Amino acid sequence: MNPLVVVLAVLLAGALVALIWLVGRGSGARDAATQRQLGEVRARLDQLVLAQSELPKAVAEGAADQARSLADVRERLGRLSEATVRLESLGRSVADVQELLKVPRLRGTLGEVWLEELLRQVFPARLYEMQYAFRAGERVDAVLRVGSRLVPIDSKFPLEACQRMLAAEGETAARERRGFRRSLKERIDEIAEKYIRPEEGTLDFALMYIPAEAVYYEAVVRDEALEDQESIVGYALRRHVIPVSPHTFYAYVSAVLHGLRGLEVEERAREIETALGALRHQFDRFQRAFALVGRHLDNALKQYQESERQWVRVQERLDVATGFEADPRGPRAAGLAEGDVADELAASNQPAMPE
């Protein structure tokens, strides 16, 4: 509010009060209504004076708030300008990456780098090897060592076929999807034929690593069987190839390792069963040999008993011939051991030593 206007209003109010007072004095009538009006005028004048005193403070506070708001706006505009610069730089970087991805060799190199980074984050260096070479000279991007066996992992990045499929509309969409599926099948066949080599120590399957989640989504998640054709996932599994992406890589590898541990336990159980079978065969052979020895011992005992009876008969005849009485207790009557009988007979047949 303008100070001059306030002053004029105060003067005008004062003049009005004086006029009313004079009129009232001249007439001599001071009624209650006039007094109330005077009170209201005085209150209004007090409010105007108070507003006049507080006006500079309010103006100063408003100016400070406005200055702070302007400073905040300038700061936000500065941050927005920096963000715009970063977005422009990021846009140029994305454009550069897109240009790089147009080159198949560079695209394959990026896939190998991302695959190596995934392996490095999870496994120690001794459990995987990059650019593993087979005897025929073929090189797979990586192998994962599981005991004495290898899990081949190869990176495939069919980006161009996927982009053409996503950009197609109408009648060309189905044709481009078939082309995308054909490109995936060619890569699956390449992995199955080149890198699944059990004779060189690999397991009977391989992993196809797709570095881009969008491509993996179109290849696996959204894939459906067209007409009489099987799905890409079904075709890959039939060829013993498992498609994986950056987000599903760890889950598939964990499942594979868990299954391999189960197979190892099963193989170990078969080895134990085979060893027990061999031990049972050896025990059967020992049992047969033991039974044979028992029969031989039984026959020997029978022969010994028969020989003893014959010896008694011979002894009786000798006693009759020589006039001695035979001992009815047999060859053991004189305390001879069973093995000493033959020794005594042999000694009795030896010629006398000359004196």
Return all residues near 114 (Cβ < 8 A) that are at least 6 apart.
155, 211, 246
Higher pLDDT, 67 or 123: 123
> How much is the pLDDT for 81?
74
CATH number of this structure's domain 101-247: 3.40.1350.10
Higher pLDDT, 97 or 180: 180
What CA–CA distance (Å, rounded) separates 160 from 345? 109
Residues of the chain with CATH 3.40.1350.10: 101-247
Write down the residue that tokens 């009313």 correspond to: 20
Closest CA to 200 of 142, 150, 248: 150
pLDDT beyond 60 at 125: yes
**Highest mean pLDDT out of 159-173, 247-261, 315-329:** 247-261
Q: Tell me if the pTM is above 0.85.
A: no
Express each pLDDT in 195-250 by its tens digit. Answer: 999 999 999 999 999 888 888 887 777 665 555 567 888 888 899 999 998 888 88
Express each pLDDT in 24-54 by its tens digit. Answer: 554 554 556 666 777 777 777 777 667 666 6
Mean pLDDT, the chain, rounded, equals 74
Write down the residue that tokens 């075709």 correspond to: 235
User: For the chain, first and last CA: distance in Å?
Assistant: 171
